[in-house]
């Protein structure tokens, strides 16, 4: 039987992993820090932000947290650097930089 995502870590023997590291259970995205896949990183330019929150629903990884009705810094542990947020921001408050 396959291990649950929460049970897999760096010391898990390869024999206990699923073929292709497939995940056979729902709602496990918060268990994995996928930000290491990123090749570009979003930069939040707070002075340009008008708190319209248009970027928030466009993020496919929910990496733009909202705290007390205001957007907060990016969750870079899960951001994959797709850049969709840059296109969604009408005020130029998000830029992409190369690298992590």
CATH code for the domain in which residue 78 is found:
3.30.70.20
Same domain? For 39 and 3 the reply is: no
How many of the other CB atoms lie within 10 Å of CB of 40?
17
Same domain? For 22 and 65 the reply is: no
> Strand ranges (DSSP E) for the chain?
40-44, 66-67, 70-71, 94-98
Same domain? For 59 and 24 the reply is: no
Q: For the chain, what is the domain count? A: 2
Q: Inform me whether the pLDDT recorded for 14 exceeds 90.
A: no
Can you give the pLDDT at residue 6?
Answer: 58
Q: In sequence order, what are the beta bridge partners of 97? A: 41
Q: What is the pTM of this model?
A: 0.69
Same domain? For 48 and 7 the reply is: no
Token pair belonging to 6: 């929460």
Same domain? For 20 and 58 the reply is: no
pLDDT tens-digit series, residues 22-62: 767 766 666 777 888 889 999 999 999 999 999 999 999 89
Domain that holds residue 19: 1-32
Distances (CA, A) of 6 to 23, 33, 76: 11, 12, 20
């Amino acid at each position: 039987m396959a291990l649950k995502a929460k049970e897999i870590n760096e010391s898990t023997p390869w024999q206990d992993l699923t073929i292709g590291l497939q995940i056979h259970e729902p709602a496990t995205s918060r268990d994995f820090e996928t930000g290491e896949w990123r090749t570009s990183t979003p930069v939040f330019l707070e002075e340009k932000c008008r708190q319209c929150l248009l970027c928030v629903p466009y993020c496919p990884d929910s990496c733009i947290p909202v705290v007390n009705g205001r957007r907060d810094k990016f969750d870079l542990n899960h951001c994959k650097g797709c850049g969709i947020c840059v296109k969604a921001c009408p005020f130029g408050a998000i830029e992409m930089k190369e690298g992590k």
